[in-house]
């Protein structure tokens, strides 16, 4: 926390192997490629590959992308010139970003939970407040949600600020109260941040803050979906490798009918989840330049992103639990690694908005923007519309129920919509595969 002269420095020490691994992702273009190649696909492909080995390290990449994205899309020319080049460097001097919204009172209801206040001071703002979950805590730049003094209550009064690690005079602009002791994602340090007259620069207008926050969250939710699929795939690969060498009752465990059937069924679910996650990537790539008021394509994307975040994370947890069971007693021993996937998966289901949040936000975009109709029209290009009529009318009925009843009945239908969408999309992928388009 302090240097040899007694000055507060709050430096996080990493092992050199970690820094080499982290740096490799940045050098490979997990952030700069999105801008140079004008596409998010290479970024998510890199994350998919990396997450097969370590889901947690995709967090720094995702929040760095979110910071650069918000700055490039909504920041003033002056702010961009000052900060963007450092985030897009291709060598180890690259700056990292972070996205800090959540406070002690809660992350789901940001409108009520964010108590950090911003006061204007000349060409910049001074922020005061505490962020309770701040991942990539030593990032050089963070985008931070705060309420400008006098702004209305609720989410509409939130604005987004760029907060550098150091003030203009070189002093520390924010301090780390402590680091979190987490069950997983240990490859990203998450801490509590204290903002005390911290210099911040407004990104976009105060009125557009909530849209920016949601756009950043969308980038993370899509990353979460890709990472969840990679984790489920890895857990299954490990389980298969084990079942192919462990014997019981005279034959390999994998050759017993019950287990073989489970493998087959789960491989299929994985394929569907994969298709859903990648559809959220493709749609995001198509709509990423949009600003409010958004198009129907954007609302379609939002629904697919909620379905993908929800379903892939739930699948990752369920698959990781099952993969542990396949390892039998060895599954619970830290030294063999199977239990780690379950710990990692549990975080994927909670951050970037819990599964509850995805269902409720998914219902909202269906109700307000009729996004389910857009989704069915989208799927009709793969499957005759009649095949999905039953599901569509069940959803219509759900949306007309009184609020509490709708929430009580929502999850089963939301899950079905996610699975059916994944199944249909994977059918399209298989066809494209045969035609050599994928
Ligand atoms: C390892 C880790 C790192 C993180 N890093 C960051 C970060 O860098 N930046 C950041 O901003 N945040 C970060 N978070 C915070 C994360 O986004 C929040 O934990 C998450 O959004 C949930 O908020 P909460 O924990 O305050 O739960 P709460 O909002 O308090 O919710 C508690 C429970 O109530 C449920 N709930 C809430 N509202 C409803 C409702 N209307 N209906 C039904 N159920 C409801 C929730 O789903 C949840 O199950 C991180 C979290 C973790 C675990």
With a 6 Å cutoff on the Cβ, whether 106 touches ligand 1 is yes
| CA-closest residue to ligand 1 atom 48 | 354
pLDDT at res. 432? 79
pTM here is: 0.97
pLDDT at res. 438? 46
SS (H, E, C) the chain: CECCCCCECCCCCCCHHHHHHHHHHHHHCCCHHHHHCCCCHHHHHHHHHHHCCCCCCHHHHHHHHHHHHHHHHHCCHHHHHHHHHHHCCCCCCCCCCCEECCECCECCCHHHHCCCEEEEECCEEEEEEEEEEEECCCCCEEEEEEEECCCCCCHHHCEEEEEECECCCCCECCEEEEECCCCCCCCCCEEEEEEEEEEEEEECCHHHHHHHHHHHHHHHHHHHHHHHHHHHHHHHHHHHHHHCCCEECCEEHHHCHHHHHHHHHHHHHHHHHHHHHHHHHHHHHHHCCCCCCCCHHHHHHHHHHHHHHHHHHHHHHHHHHHHHHHCHHHHHCHHHCHHHHHHHHHHHCCCCCCHHHHHHHHHHHHHHHCHHHHHHHHHCCCCCHHHHHHHHHHHHHHHCCCHHHHHHHHHHHHHHHHHHHHHHHHHHHHHHHHCCCC
With a 6 Å cutoff on the Cβ, whether 208 touches ligand 1 is no
pLDDT at res. 191? 98
User: What is the mean pLDDT of each successive set of 10 residues along the chain, which is 438 residues long?
Assistant: 95 94 97 98 98 96 98 97 98 98 97 98 97 98 98 97 97 97 96 98 95 97 98 98 98 98 98 98 98 97 98 98 98 96 98 97 98 96 86 96 97 97 92 68
With a 6 Å cutoff on the Cβ, whether 319 touches ligand 1 is no
With a 6 Å cutoff on the Cβ, whether 99 touches ligand 1 is yes
pLDDT at res. 431? 78
pLDDT at res. 108? 96
With a 6 Å cutoff on the Cβ, whether 360 touches ligand 1 is yes
Cα of 106 to ligand 1 centre, how many Å?
6
pLDDT at res. 437? 58
Ligand 1 pocket, mutate which of 138, 357, 359, 406 (most atoms under 8 A from CB):
357
With a 6 Å cutoff on the Cβ, whether 107 touches ligand 1 is yes
Atom of ligand 1 nearest to the CA of 101: 11
Ligand 1 pocket, mutate which of 100, 112, 133, 218 (most atoms under 8 A from CB):
133
């Amino acid at each position: 926390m302090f240097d040899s002269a007694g000055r507060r420095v709050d430096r996080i020490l990493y092992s050199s192997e970690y820094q080499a691994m982290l740096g490799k992702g940045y050098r490979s273009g997990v952030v700069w490629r999105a801008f140079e190649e004008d596409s998010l696909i290479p970024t998510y492909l890199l994350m998919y590959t990396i997450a097969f080995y370590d889901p947690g390290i995709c967090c720094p990449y995702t929040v760095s992308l979110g910071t650069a994205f918000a700055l490039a899309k909504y920041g003033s020319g002056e702010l961009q010139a000052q900060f963007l080049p450092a985030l897009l460097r291709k060598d180890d001097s690259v700056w990292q970003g972070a996205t800090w919204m959540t406070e002690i009172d809660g992350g789901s209801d940001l409108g009520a939970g964010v108590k950090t206040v911003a006061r204007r001071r000349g060409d910049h703002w001074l922020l005061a407040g505490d962020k309770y979950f701040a991942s990539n805590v030593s990032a050089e730049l963070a985008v931070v949600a705060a309420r400008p003094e006098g702004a209305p209550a609720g989410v509409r009064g939130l604005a987004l600020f760029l907060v550098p690690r150091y003030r203009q005079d070189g002093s520390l602009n924010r301090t780390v109260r402590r680091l979190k002791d987490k069950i997983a994602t240990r490859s990203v340090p998450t801490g509590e941040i204290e903002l005390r007259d911290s210099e911040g620069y407004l990104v976009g207008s105060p009125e557009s803050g909530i849209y920016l926050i949601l756009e950043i969250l969308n980038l993370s939710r899509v990353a979460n979906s890709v990472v969840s699929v990679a984790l489920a795939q890895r857990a299954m690969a490990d389980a298969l490798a084990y079942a192919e060498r462990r014997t019981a009752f005279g034959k390999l465990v994998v050759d017993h009918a019950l287990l073989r059937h489970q493998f087959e069924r789960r491989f299929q679910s994985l394929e569907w989840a994969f298709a859903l996650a990648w559809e959220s990537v493709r749609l995001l790539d198509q709509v990423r330049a949009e600003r409010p008021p958004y198009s129907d394509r954007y609302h379609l994307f939002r629904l697919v992103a909620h379905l993908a975040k929800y379903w892939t994370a739930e699948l990752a947890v369920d698959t990781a639990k099952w993969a542990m069971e396949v390892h039998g007693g060895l599954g619970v021993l830290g030294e063999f690694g199977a239990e780690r996937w379950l710990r990692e998966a549990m975080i994927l289901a909670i951050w970037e908005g819990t599964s509850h949040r995805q269902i409720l936000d998914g219902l909202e975009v269906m109700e307000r923007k009729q996004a389910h109709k857009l989704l069915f029209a989208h799927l009709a290009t793969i499957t005759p519309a009649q095949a999905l009529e039953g599901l569509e009318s069940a959803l219509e009925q759900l949306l007309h129920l009184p609020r509490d009843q709708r929430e009580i009945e929502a999850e089963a239908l939301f899950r079905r919509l996610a699975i059916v969408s994944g199944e249909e999309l994977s059918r399209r992928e298989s066809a494209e595969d045969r035609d050599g388009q994928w």
